[in-house]
Chain A
Amino acid sequence: MIPGSFEYHRPDSVASALEILAEYGDEARAIAGGHSLIPMMKLRMADVGHLVDLQAIADLKGITVQGDTIIIGAMTTQQELISSAELASAAPILREASLQIADPQVRYVGTIGGNVANGDPGNDLPGLMQCLDAQYTLAGRDGTREVAARDFYEAAYFTAREDDEILVSIKFRATTGGYAYEKQKRKIGDYATAAAAVLIAKDGATCSFASIAMTNLSDTPVWCEAAADALVGSSLDQAAIDAAVAAMLETIDPQEDNRGPVEFKNHVAGVILRRAIERAASRA
């Protein structure tokens, strides 16, 4: 498997990267870790004339925790997410989810930005970002703008990011209460058959807050507001969980593939969500 030819660019600032993207328009693609894009290029399913490598842009790196706000540079690798003690305490669900992405080698180079920005419905972090209600900061030549993760995904590989914009960072609030990232996959290195990101806070025995998002069960990640609503105010009893699962099943739209038929995926989505809720509740 041999990729086609391209011109290579390694800008050292966001501004310079944006200029290159603008100059080459459709022909240009930004590359972060490259573990989604490069296989596609090797299979000649992606034709890239100008590859804009973001690795030298210092502004895109790093994890900052200020009070209860967390800002993560787009080029921060999944391995860095896993090994950050600060993050493990401010939003431990990130570590739990990141450990379930691909395999060790891929996590060393795979970035949070690449994972959330390319719009692959199989990626784990977009659903998680919806669950966290993260904001994506996109830089364009006219300045930056923020888009909520919950508004970002339009269809498989189609997002709110314009071709000449770069995702620079991701911002969300530190989590309190319980969390769980539950994923079923065929083996290490596989995408999810179904995955659920769940945050739960309790006030006494009552659920005071919940957020739920599902992965690889539609052509975009699915934030399930109704499912979360079904939990809030309940004691997280069986009836509430049943209602949450039923609400989630209303919003997903899985497709048959080698992982199994639609009926199976719906069933597994329900089981996975149930487990995630129960685990998150036990930690809340």
Chain B
Amino acid sequence: MNEMTPPKTERAAALKGLGSARKRVEDARFTQGKGNYVDDLKMPGMLFGDFVRSPYAHARIKSINADKAKAIPGVVAVLTADDLRPLNLHWMPTLAGDKQMVLADGKVLFQGQEVAFVVAEDRYVAADAVELVEVDYEELPVVVDPFKAQASDAPVLREDLEGNMEGAHGPRRHHNHIFTWEQGDKDATEAVVGSADVVAEEMVYYHRTHPCPLETCGCVASMDKVNGKLTVWGTFQAPHAVRTVASLISGIAEHNIRIISPDIGGGFGNKVGVYPGYICSIVASIVTGVPVKWVEDRMENLMATAFARDYWMQGKIAATKDGRITGLWCHVTADHGAFDACADPTKFPAGFFNICTGSYDIPTAYLAVDGVYTNKAPGGVAYRCSFRVTEAAYFIERMIEILALKLDMDPAELRAKNFIRKEQFPYQSALGWEYDSGDYQTAWDKALKAVDYEGLRREQAERVDAFKRGETRKLIGIGLTHFTEIVGAGPVKNCDILGLGMFDSCEIRIHPTGSAIARLGTISQGQGHATTFAQILASEIGIPADDITVEEGDTDTAPYGLGTYGSRSTPVAGAATAMAGRKIRAKAQMIAAYLLEVHDDDVEWDVDRFVVKGAPQRFKTMKEIAFASYNQAIPGVEPGLEAVSYYDPPNMTYPFGAYVCVMEVDVDTGEADIRKFYALDDCGTRINPMIIEGQVHGGLTEALAIAMGQEIAYDELGNVKTGTLMDFFVPTSWETPYYTTDHTVTPSPHHPIGAKGVGESPNVGGVPAFSNAVHDAFRTFGLTHTHMPHDHWRIWKIAHDLGLHG
């Protein structure tokens, strides 16, 4: 090595590549108030759209009279289903193979449903006009319970489907039934369960909640009639998919549609779907010829766009007397609301719920899911989750605890006894997945040691004694979880949305002076892609991350991709980035060899340069190679240094983690105080530890909210009871505990850099950890299971029902 060349480690550090806690490049604009979110957009002549929404959960619309509304100065139009019908846009396809009313067509099916769209000069006039649209409703019987919805005399909710007993996912057996989805071996599982030493059985309900990003959904649609181009800026987690869907349903050629996701104020699954507001804005812009903005308010967001969960999971888990699990049986009643608008891959109407065997080697399993219509908002999105994985993790982690109770065994020991062992990977699960890699026991041992599990159990027992002596009214709960996620959807052979394979993409251009731009089909909503994807690339191509611009979210410039949700960006787009980088490097190698006048095979990669083997003083840096690619005529090589990669992952990735929550529960008030939370995550190769930690803190806090109080609750008439942030629980800094984070690293064997994704792990693992802690506090008093959310009164009720109030 010549004297001028700094050592390898120094050069590698300067790149700020993989493993660097690089500060985020996004933060400069956000900290200065210069983010560019959709409601920040302002255009000449722009109009504002606002919805008239149904106050009823189920009603026939007898008439709509917009005369008074139209008479207000500044009101441009009031659209109803009748106006959209000639364009065939009064209904739209959902991502789940169903269809959904854009504007109420004859009836409404949930409270808050879109009935008419007012277009006015500004949002104040629009709101005034909304008040004046007169809708005559005839109330119909309401069904909010998915079990009652399946009674033979239940009201018909979807009259449009009457008589149609073949749905998008197979036969329907009732007028409010959507699909049945089965996995595993039913007969074998029932035989195992029927003859097992021990069977624990429980109905585990994961309540209805909502992703509730701080920024609500919205868009600006702008039809340029001169050029025939439609541009839509919006809160889209999957801009390319929106473009294709918009083209298919509007008939506008896809090249004439440009979808742009500007900065997005959090998504968490809320911004994957296509909403009536987008369609109405597009139509309104086509009709008026000027840009039309629609931004929902918080109440509309909670009532109408994309709820999550609402899964009734009936489970049976079978084991030998000494705690070896032999079988798992599960039946889910899935409440999808009025339209099936889940955003799952097409072949998975219950998402990846069949990961519900979790971290355990369960030889036999069976799962059936029935989707049901009710008079509630549509959705069923993956709220910080990879398609029903949070439901699955919650289910298995509750069932394990319930089994441990039945076996009178320590739940930590029961888990350890049944882990899939390191040497079993790749592991074929009974419900159809091939787990890529894992080392559960190591993570588990590390977690239990870190929290002094034995000591905690002793302290808990002492507290119970003190409680029984009347010295305290607070119990200690220790919530354990070992979760396994399935993320990175996914292989095109089994994952598509509306026929679009779930690959992702990256296109890289190296500039002559050795800096670069990378464009991806994903879109960050806070994950920091502009920071981390540059790091992946820096390590691959030896250009400092600081010299790489990452651009996402504009369908006119980015290569096609399926977007950001389900922790898929790192596993899929991150892989595409690495692969595109490798193409760059392969070409760079040829250029370097040419410049160094040696054979291609005689140079080798060295952090940021190619070096002649055995002659380290002879090298070409990437900076030199980049310039050469633009000014040297290299025989047989095209000028320039660019590459694009469309990455179709061979498998999903399977991040995992071990969480421990220590909670003090006040038996009298139902208040719960999180005393300690330890989170060990294994997401494979760690790209940016600072960002990983931030993701874990945030995901845990969303888990805290869900487990401890956050719900979309309905009364019997289908009225939403939790429509504002007064009642919809989002914890503040005061209720949120301090988290201790930790990690192990088990790389994914099939991912180019071994990364697995982390964004959703803390939510998937956090919810059972918090919930198990509540249950565990009352374990010695006979509690088996109770439903979330564990808000004060429900915890109080546990104590009350157990006779702890004297």
User: What residues of chain A have their CB less than 8 Å away from a CB belonging to chain B?
Assistant: 1-2, 4-5, 44, 103, 184, 186-191, 193, 258-261, 263-264, 267-268, 271-272
A to B CB contacts below 8 Å, 16 in the list:
A1-B127, A1-B297, A2-B127, A4-B131, A5-B128, A184-B671, A187-B709, A188-B732, A188-B735, A193-B793, A260-B792, A261-B793, A264-B793, A267-B668, A267-B796, A268-B669
Q: Mark B103-133, 1 if CB is under 8 A from A, else 0.
A: 0000000000000000000011011100100
User: What is the distance, in angstroms, from B662's C-beta to the closest C-beta of chain A?
Assistant: 21
Contacts of A44 in B (CB 8 A): 131
Q: Mark B712-737, 1 if CB is under 8 A from A, else 0.
A: 01000000011001110101101100
Given contacts A1-B127, A193-B792, A258-B721, 9 further A-B contacts (CB under 8 A): A4-B128, A184-B669, A184-B792, A187-B729, A189-B732, A258-B727, A264-B792, A264-B797, A271-B668
Contact A264 B735 (CB under 8 A): no
Report the 6 A-B pairs with minimum CB-CB distance, sorted nearest first.
Answer: A260-B793, A2-B127, A264-B793, A271-B668, A188-B732, A188-B734
Is B595 positioned at the interface, with any CB of A under 8 Å from its CB?
no
Number of A-B contacts (CB under 8 A): 67
**Who on chain A is nearest to B711 by CB?**
A258
User: What is the distance, in angstroms, from B546's C-beta to the closest C-beta of chain A?
Assistant: 38
Contacts of A2 in B (CB 8 A): 123-124, 126-128
**A217→B671 CA distance, assembly (Å):** 18
Contact A187 B123 (CB under 8 A): no
**A271→B669 CA distance, assembly (Å):** 7
Contact of B793 among A4, A191, A259, A272 (CB under 8 A): A259
Contact of A1 among B126, B299, B792 (CB under 8 A): B299
Interface of A is mostly: loop
What's the tally of chain B residues with a CB closer than 8 Å to chain A? 32
**Who on chain B is nearest to A191 by CB?**
B726
**A164→B127 CA distance, assembly (Å):** 30
Within 8 A of A (CB), among B126-152: 126-128, 131
User: What is the distance, in angstroms, from B128's C-beta to the closest C-beta of chain A?
Assistant: 7
**A186→B721 CA distance, assembly (Å):** 16
Contact of B805 among A186, A188, A190, A267 (CB under 8 A): A267
Contacts of A188 in B (CB 8 A): 732, 734-735
Known: A184-B669, A187-B735, A258-B722. A264 touches B297 (CB 8 A): no
Contacts of A184 in B (CB 8 A): 669, 671, 792
**Who on chain B is nearest to A264 by CB?**
B793
**Who on chain B is nearest to A265 by CB?**
B793
Q: Mark B782-796, 1 if CB is under 8 A from A, else 0.
A: 000000000111001
Give the one of B669, B722, B735 with max A CB within 10 A. Answer: B669
Is B670 positioned at the interface, with any CB of A under 8 Å from its CB?
yes
Contacts of B800 in A (CB 8 A): 263-264, 267
Contacts of B725 in A (CB 8 A): 189
**A186→B805 CA distance, assembly (Å):** 21
Contacts of A5 in B (CB 8 A): 128
**A271→B804 CA distance, assembly (Å):** 14
Contact of B734 among A1, A187, A193, A263 (CB under 8 A): A187
Contacts of B805 in A (CB 8 A): 267
Contacts of B299 in A (CB 8 A): 1
User: What is the distance, in angstroms, from B82's C-beta to the closest C-beta of chain A?
Assistant: 26
User: What is the distance, in angstroms, from A275's C-beta to the closest C-beta of chain B?
Assistant: 9
Contact of A103 among B123, B729, B732 (CB under 8 A): B732
Give the one of A2, A188, A193, A267 with max B CB within 10 A. Answer: A2
Give the one of B126, B128, B731, B792 with max A CB within 10 A. Answer: B792
Contact A264 B796 (CB under 8 A): yes
**Who on chain B is nearest to A39 by CB?**
B724
Contacts of A189 in B (CB 8 A): 725-726, 732
**Who on chain B is nearest to A271 by CB?**
B668
Contacts of B797 in A (CB 8 A): 264
**A193→B668 CA distance, assembly (Å):** 13
**A272→B669 CA distance, assembly (Å):** 8
Contacts of B732 in A (CB 8 A): 103, 187-189
**A272→B792 CA distance, assembly (Å):** 14
Contacts of A187 in B (CB 8 A): 709, 729, 731-732, 734-735
Contacts of B734 in A (CB 8 A): 187-188
Contacts of B709 in A (CB 8 A): 186-187
Contacts of A272 in B (CB 8 A): 669
Contacts of A268 in B (CB 8 A): 668-670, 792, 796
Contact of B792 among A4, A186, A191 (CB under 8 A): A186
Give the one of B669, B722, B727, B793 with max A CB within 10 A. Answer: B793
Within 8 A of A (CB), among B751-801: 791-793, 796-797, 800
**A259→B729 CA distance, assembly (Å):** 11
Contact B670 A264 (CB under 8 A): yes
**A188→B729 CA distance, assembly (Å):** 10
**A1→B130 CA distance, assembly (Å):** 11
**Who on chain A is nearest to B705 by CB?**
A187
